[in-house]
Amino acid sequence: MVKRHRIQFPKSELSNLNQDEAYFYLQGSGGNRKIRFHDYDEIYQVQGLYEQIFYDRLKCTSPTKVTSILESAVKQSQDNFSELRILDLGAGNGMMGEELKKHGVSRLIGVDIVDEAYDATIRDRPGIYDAYYVDDFTKLDDDKKEEIISWQCDCMVTVAALGFGDIPTKAFIEAFNIIKSQGWVAFNIKETFFDASDESGFSKMIRELIFSRYIDIYYIERYRHRLSIEGEPLYYFAIAGRKNSDVPDEFLASKGIMA
Ligand SMILES: C[S@@+](CC[C@H](N)C(=O)[O-])C[C@H]1O[C@@H](n2cnc3c(N)ncnc32)[C@H](O)[C@@H]1O
């Protein structure tokens, strides 16, 4: 059985902090260690800590939600969910992979930018992924790209990994362009990314992509992604659609988005 950790949330209100600046203390024999929510490398090194914080305590529902809307979208077509060959971008320690595998999928390829995510997946969920690459999709070299393309993925998912300094536009578009045309795309984003007032490159890209001819949207659902550290619901959109064709650089440039 995985050990429970002694974790403590800070005493003072954190509502004025950005979501990516939130932190907690891990209590141990050496004293209290302060860890930010975005210190994934540190979190993954401690077995069960990621699950305890985000799933047990903060009630994250996103892998289940994104899997269910993807399944509903695929059901509207002639395709079979169990035949999907899925690229999981920002796979972390395999929470989404585990959810997808419960439903049965044909191939599952994980990608993350930190070594610790891969190590934790092998330690905690061995055998979930057919291959798992630690790479930066903004600088994918040609050999690695060819290798990933050779898995012939016809679906990409990315869960709890977009925005907040995580997966940037260029990496998202690279993955989108790696999967086959007529392939499936499912991801979640914080609801504020849909505000026209959010001028960040990632928000603009998502808004432009959703209304573009490169994708047909099948589902958009607002739901509670998880609780904040203060116990407030954090709302996200889960989105599923079908890719029509690759997004060319010119499209992003014409919208004033830096890829
Ligand atoms: C909150 S975790 C989500 C992990 C998993 N998808 C889940 O639902 O539990 C975000 C993950 O995105 C990864 N990530 C951040 N930036 C990335 C990038 N540029 N390319 C690939 N992965 C990235 C982080 O290392 C981290 O493992």
pLDDT tens digit sequence for 35-78: 999 999 999 999 999 999 999 999 999 999 999 999 999 999 99
| Contact between residue 131 and residue 86 where contact means Cβ atoms under 8 Å apart | no
How is residue 245 annotated by DSSP?
S
- The 3-state DSSP class for residue 249 equals helix
Residue 259's pLDDT is 65
- Token output for 81: 């969910």
Q: Whose CA is nearest to atom 27 of ligand 1?
A: 92
How is residue 11 annotated by DSSP?
S
Residue 163's pLDDT is 80
Helix/strand/coil percentages in the chain, nearest 5: 35, 25, 40
Residue 17's pLDDT is 66
Pocket probe for ligand 1: among 112, 119, 124, the residue whose CB has the most ligand atoms within 8 Å is 112
Q: Whose CA is nearest to atom 19 of ligand 1?
A: 167
Residue 226's pLDDT is 97
Q: b vs e for 221-243, b when ≥16 Cβ sit within 10 Å of the residue's Cβ?
A: eebebbeebeeeeeebbbbbbbb
Pocket probe for ligand 1: among 56, 99, 166, the residue whose CB has the most ligand atoms within 8 Å is 166
How is residue 64 annotated by DSSP?
H
CA-based torsion, 95, 97, 103, 104: positive or negative = negative
- The 3-state DSSP class for residue 19 equals helix
How is residue 91 annotated by DSSP?
-
The phi and psi torsions of 25 (rounded to 5 degrees) equal -110, 135
Taking CA atoms, 26 is separated from 15, 59, 198, in Å, by 20, 19, 34
Residue 255's pLDDT is 86
Looking at the DSSP assignment, which residues form a beta bridge with residue 189?
237
For residue 78, report the distance from its CA to the centre of ligand 1, in Å: 31
The segments of the chain whose pLDDT lies below 70 read 13-17, 19-20, 259
Pocket probe for ligand 1: among 51, 55, 62, 113, the residue whose CB has the most ligand atoms within 8 Å is 113
Residue 16's pLDDT is 63
**Closest CA relative to residue 42, chosen from 129, 120, 128:** 120
Q: Which amino acid is at 133?
A: Y
Q: Whose CA is nearest to atom 10 of ligand 1?
A: 161
Query: Ligand 1 — pocket residues by CB below 6 A?
Result: 40, 62-63, 89-92, 95-96, 111-114, 117, 136-137, 159-161, 166-167, 171
User: Which residues are within 8 A (CB) of 87 and not within 5 positions of it... i.e. 6 or more apart?
Assistant: 109, 111, 148, 151, 153, 155, 156, 157, 175, 178, 179
